[in-house]
Amino acid sequence: MSLDLKTVRRVASLARLHLEEGEDQRLQAELNGILGWIEQLQAVDTTGVEPLSGAGGTAMPMHDDVVNDGGKAEAVLANAPDRVGEFFAVPKVVE
């Protein structure tokens, strides 16, 4: 399937796109390229392939919920521009 310039202009009008002189031909080429890809996808044999609407059917692995402090304060604060003990120091923003 390919689109003619009349159809491209109609689609642009419906989408409320203002096309400058010559843009309609560029848009025609782009839309025809997209339609070409769609035709290629439709040619793929998908018999026996279940439709997939998301990853909802996969089970997430369970991990133990262990509380820890990380123990990496020095590594976390290594690039801090300013610090007070094991905390980031920030300028006062409320007077």
pLDDT at 34: 95
Whether 10 maps to a domain, the answer reads: yes
CA distance 35 to 38: 5
Q: What would the two tokens of residue 19 be? A: 């096309």
pLDDT digits (tens, 9 = 90+) for 52-92: 777 777 788 888 888 887 888 888 899 899 999 888 999 88
Q: What is the pLDDT of residues 17-52, one digit of tens each?
A: 998 888 999 999 999 999 999 999 999 999 998 887
Residue 78 covered by a domain = no
Read out DSSP for 62-87? P--------S-HHHHHTT-SSEETTE
Sort strands 87-88 and 83-84 into parallel, antiparallel or unpaired: antiparallel
Distance from the Cα of residue 40 to its chain's centroid: 23
Whether 66 maps to a domain, the answer reads no
The parent domain of residue 26 ranges over 5-42
Q: How many domains does the chain have?
A: 1
Give the count of beta carbons closer than 10 Å to the beta carbon of residue 8: 21
